[in-house]
């Protein structure tokens, strides 16, 4: 099944644009797991998935957190991907970028070895670094456009022909989308930029929107500007705000509460938007 | 020992700016290794290191090739790094980039878990994504400036205030270098851009220059424009042109021949430059 079809079906089925970021971090995880469990990370991810899977359209794993654990992190990543129900979208957030010969190896690693439905990519090298990913039918490549971090504007806001660089990247995404399915990564922390990018990309291109929650992105503005006219085609990610909502024995319940709350707020603004 | 000191000592000791890229690729490696050896990749890397270590200042591993092999690739990467003599610079080429909280995890993975002397990073997210790497004393972060691939110019050449984006990135590198040691990645395939970037960066900032060999970069221009006035502070990388120079039982000798030839050509032009 094609990525957009899988996403649409799931969004409709669970009525949710929420994506939970499974960004494991020993320092923020419930301490008791490390005393009582032989594989605390897998236990943690499984509990979070069990507690939230009926509330989400997608899970996102930022590869950095897994890579920092070495070989066992890679195994954990694969086991987590396998544990996620097949009708939920899996996004591997690695922001990869390389020359063509090498990008091909990254595409193989992420789509074949680990088995994601979508990846995140950095556009700085141009189409060469993107194309090998676009060659995988049914998969989606989310290209960094305007990121959520404080120094995002340092390069991304530089003016080219009177318009910020991220506008030009958005136009590249439209162009690359003719070769294979593309989406855009736009931070919730910058609502006006989100609005501009949605206008450039039109109705059909999906946005992956991190920056809600701990990073401070506003939910109302995110839904208003990030979704299309039907209140769709946006995947709104929260990681730390959900998975680290609790730190006691009831951490999974707490994560569920946080996920319900966020999903409902998103849906409230979706209803308002659709009128 | 600080990265620049380690590099300078090694360059002086072996009189070489050559970096060999250990980019393993089953399709291009000698086929007999896969029939006769229990761990063909490690065997291959060890043989190449044995055959070339007295000729190089650095080895570079592009992480994509290792990641495409899954857990065993990560183990292979670590074992290869451990096998490389300690006075040779090890560059982990992963072109990482992420928000601060996450970049910290990548820095941990690359500097602590794998143990490189230097990394490559993508500048699109600005300083947030770079800073956690700069906090590791003695290590070096090579920032992508003008890459070697055909579509490099798609974003990198866009004009900002009448000057291409990669000029602005070079200026960022100068600025970030005040926080922690930075270098720049500039492709040998674009000699004029190399010249401009060396002029912006001055005498002291090291350049990592891929694109020699299979990618077609010109050696004379690379040395002329990429090194500083003393014919130093450049690390000139060749991967496929050296490690896949032979495909028979004598593949390691062939790689040595290719490495000797390239080192000598680089040195010829270094002597010319120094006059």
Select from A64, A70, A172 the Cβ nearest to the Cβ of B98. Answer: A64
Rounded distance, CA B10 to CA B2, Å?
Answer: 12
Residues of A in contact with B128 (CB under 8 A): 149-152
Rounded distance, CA A120 to CA A142, Å?
Answer: 5
B135 and A CB contact within 8 Å: no
- Which residue, among A124, A198, A189, A121, has the nearest Cα to A151 in the 3D structure? A189
The DSSP result for B166-198, as a single string, is: HHHHHHHHHHHTTTS-EEEEE-TT-HHHHHHHH
Q: Which chain A residue has the Cα nearest residue B121?
A: A97
The stretch A149-175 carries a mean pLDDT of 97
Give residue B247's pLDDT: 94
- Which residue, among A190, A196, A231, A228, has the nearest Cα to A211 in the 3D structure? A190
- Encoded tokens for A112: 């074949």
Q: What is the tens place of the pLDDT at every residue in A101-147? A: 899 999 999 999 999 999 999 999 999 999 999 999 999 999 999 99
Residues of B in contact with A172 (CB under 8 A): 154-155
- Which residue, among A93, A142, A107, A97, has the nearest Cα to B93 in the 3D structure? A97
**Beta-bridge partner residues of B256:** none
> Phi and psi at residue B247, in whole multiples of 5°?
-130, 5
- Which residue, among A73, A50, A48, A53, has the nearest Cα to A63 in the 3D structure? A73
A151 and B CB contact within 8 Å: yes
A27 and B CB contact within 8 Å: no
Task: Please judge whether B155 and A149 are an interchain contact, meaning their C-beta atoms are less than 8 angstroms apart.
Answer: no
- Encoded tokens for A36: 């009582």
Sort strands A18-21 and A234-238 into parallel, antiparallel or unpaired: parallel
Q: Which of A95, A131, A195, A273 is catalytic?
A: A95
The single-letter DSSP state of residue B230 is: T
Q: Which chain A residue has the Cα nearest residue B214?
A: A101
Rounded distance, CA A7 to CA A89, Å?
Answer: 6
Q: How confident is the model at residue B273 (pLDDT cuts 50, 70, 90)?
A: confident
Residues of A in contact with B23 (CB under 8 A): 102
**What ipTM is given for this predicted complex?**
0.95
Q: What is the tens place of the pLDDT at every residue in B176-235? A: 999 999 999 999 999 999 999 999 999 999 999 999 877 777 999 999 999 999 999 999
- Edge to edge, what strands does the sheet with B163-164 contain? A163-164, A159-160, B159-160, B163-164
B100 and A CB contact within 8 Å: yes
Over chain A, what HEC string results? Answer: CCHHHHHHHHHHHHCCCEEEECCCCCCCCCCCHHHHCCCHHHHHHHHHHHHHHHHCCEEEEEHHHHHCCCHHHHHHHHHHHHHCCCCCEEEEEEEECCCHHHHHHHHHHHHHHHCCCEEEECHHHCHHHHHHHHCCCCCEEEEEEECCCHHHHHHHCCEECCEEHHHHHHHHHHHHCCCCCEEEEECCCCHHHHHHHHHHHCCCCCEEECCEHHHCECHHHHHHHHCCCCCCCEEEEECHHHHCCCCCCCHHHHHHHHHHHHHHHHHHHHHHHHC
Select from B71, B156, B215 the Cβ nearest to the Cβ of A74. Answer: B71
Q: Are B44 and B65 in contact (CB under 8 A)?
A: no
In the predicted structure, residue B262 carries a pLDDT above the cut 90: yes
- Encoded tokens for B160: 């900002």
Active site residue B60: no
Q: Are B236 and B226 in contact (CB under 8 A)?
A: yes
Q: What is the pTM of this model?
A: 0.97
Sort strands B58-62 and A159-160 into parallel, antiparallel or unpaired: unpaired
Rounded distance, CA A104 to CA A123, Å?
Answer: 15
Candidates B81, B126, B131, B150, partner chain A, best to mutate (most A CBs within 10 A)? B126
Mean pLDDT of chain B: 96
The stretch A28-37 carries a mean pLDDT of 94
Select from B98, B122, B172 the Cβ nearest to the Cβ of A124. Answer: B122
The stretch A199-207 carries a mean pLDDT of 98
Distance from CA of B187 to the nearest CA of A (A): 11
In sequence order, which residues have a C-beta less than 8 Å from that of residue B38 and are 6 or more positions away? none
Q: Is the dihedral of CA A255, A260, A266, A269 positive or negative?
A: negative
B219 and A CB contact within 8 Å: no
Q: What is the tens place of the pLDDT at every residue in B95-109? A: 999 999 899 999 999
Rounded distance, CA A213 to CA B189, Å?
Answer: 44
In the predicted structure, residue A213 carries a pLDDT above the cut 90: no
Residues of A in contact with B238 (CB under 8 A): none
- Which residue, among A226, A235, A236, A181, has the nearest Cα to A203 in the 3D structure? A226
Residues of B in contact with A102 (CB under 8 A): 23, 62, 64-65
B162 and A CB contact within 8 Å: no
Give residue B1's pLDDT: 83
Domain range summary for chain B, segments of one domain joined by +: 3-274
Rounded distance, CA B223 to CA B172, Å?
Answer: 24
Give residue B36's pLDDT: 87
What topology does CATH give the domain A3-274? TIM Barrel (3.20.20)
Residue A5: C-alpha distances to residues A15, A55, A89, A117, A204 (Å): 15, 18, 10, 12, 12
Give residue A217's pLDDT: 76
């Amino acid at each position: 099944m094609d990525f957009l079809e899988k996403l649409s079906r799931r969004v409709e089925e669970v009525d949710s644009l929420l994506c939970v970021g499974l960004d494991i971090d020993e320092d923020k995880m419930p301490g008791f797991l490390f005393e009582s469990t032989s594989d605390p990370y897998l236990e943690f991810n499984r509990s979070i998935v069990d507690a939230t899977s009926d509330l989400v359209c997608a899970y996102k794993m930022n590869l950095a957190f897994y890579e920092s654990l070495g070989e066992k992190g890679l195994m954990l990543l694969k086991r987590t991907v396998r544990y996620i129900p097949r009708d939920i979208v899996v996004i591997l957030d690695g922001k990869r970028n390389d020359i063509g010969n090498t990008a091909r190896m990254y595409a193989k690693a992420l789509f074949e070895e680990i088995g994601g439905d979508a990846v995140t990519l950095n556009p700085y090298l141009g189409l060469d670094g993107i194309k090998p990913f676009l060659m995988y039918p049914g998969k989606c490549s989310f290209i960094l456009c305007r990121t959520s971090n404080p120094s995002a504007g340092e390069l991304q806001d530089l003016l080219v022909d009177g318009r910020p660089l991220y506008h030009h990247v958005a136009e590249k995404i439209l162009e690359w989308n003719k070769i294979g399915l593309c989406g855009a990564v736009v931070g919730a922390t910058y609502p006006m930029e989100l609005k501009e990018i949605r206008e450039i990309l039109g109705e059909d291109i999906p946005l992956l929107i991190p920056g809600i929650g701990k990073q401070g992105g506003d939910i109302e503005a995110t839904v208003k500007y990030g979704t299309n006219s039907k209140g769709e085609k946006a995947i709104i990610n929260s990681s730390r705000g959900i998975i680290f909502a609790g730190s006691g024995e009831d951490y999974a319940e707490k994560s569920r509460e946080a996920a319900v709350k966020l999903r409902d707020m998103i849906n409230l603004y979706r209803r308002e938007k659709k009128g």
